[in-house]
Amino acid sequence: MQPKIDLQGLRVGITGGTSGLGLALVRQLAGKGASIAFVARTAGNVERVAAETGAFGIVADIGKKEDIYPIAMQVTANLGGVDVLINNASSLGPAPLALLADTECEELEAALAVNVLGVFRLTKALFGALAASAHEGRGALVINISSDAAVNAYPGWGAYGASKAALAHLTAIWDEESKSDGIRFLALDPGDMDTPLHALALPDADPSTLKDPEVAAAEIIAKMLDALPGHAALTAGAHA
């Protein structure tokens, strides 16, 4: 008998919520009763996932500075605050992959805009709401989706890897600085997944050798629960 996870009352914001890992997270968390607000760039995809899951969809681009405060306002207004922020949206950089010497400055800039600056700006915009959640005893957590490319030097992955390395260190510093506010920060590497981003990077890869995003999402949710031991509605009952 496995405990049934009940996340009623947990308020979660997710970026990149219409494909790959982000979509799997929206589906699984909504299925467990959490209140979800997710962000993606394409209106049709946002509408589809919102209709499927009951989550609140926001059409925006975290790589654009002017979209950040509207995103934050919609997340907090719809959810009544935020307990967990999952910064999942990512930019690959040049596609097809390119050596750094062949990477355009604008391609590196685009990867940094989404993978580092977008995460920083949105987290900063929601920091007060997260701190309020921690103060109320609900717990507060920011999960930043990282990659093994943040620590391993893979040729061709320079823009992506450099941005994810910066994100990992940003996460570690913010975790140290935010202890007094009661906010936890985690950088999690979900592994090589069968996602549109991976297919864009390595179109000839065998999908059977890659992790199912649903499996990765379940692993991330388990780590999320470990980091939120004080949440009142994490488990209830059991299922056969």
pLDDT computed for residue 5 by the predictor: 80
Q: Convert 27-52 to b/e letters by CB count within 10 Å (16 or more is b).
A: bbbbebebbbbbbbbeeebbeebbee
Q: How many CA atoms lie within 13 A of 187 on its CB side?
A: 23
The question of whether 164 is a catalytic residue gets the answer yes
| pLDDT of residue 49 exceeding 50 | yes
Q: What is the Cα 175 distance to its own chain's centre?
A: 16
Asked about 69 being catalytic, the answer comes back as no
Is pLDDT of 171 > 70?
yes
Q: Tell which residue, 10, 28, 2, 81, has the closest CA to residue 220.
A: 28
Q: β-strands 56-59, 11-15: how paired?
A: unpaired
Amino acid letter at 98?
A
Annotated catalytic residue within 91, 146, 163, 178:
146
Mean pLDDT score of the chain:
93
Q: Does the structure show a pLDDT above 90 at 230?
A: no
Active-site annotation holder among 91, 160, 163, 178 = 160
Between 199 and 125, whose confidence is greater? 125
| 146 catalytically annotated | yes
Average pLDDT, integer, range 67-89: 98
Q: What is the pLDDT of residue 202?
A: 83
CA dist 198 → 141, 204, 207, 214 (Å): 27, 10, 10, 15
Please give the Cα distance from 199 to 219 (Å, whole number).
Answer: 22
SS3 call for 17: coil
Exactly one of 147, 163, 164, 178 is catalytic; name it: 164
- Please count the residues of the chain: 240
For the stretch 85-122, pLDDT in tens is 999 999 999 999 999 999 999 999 999 999 999 999 99
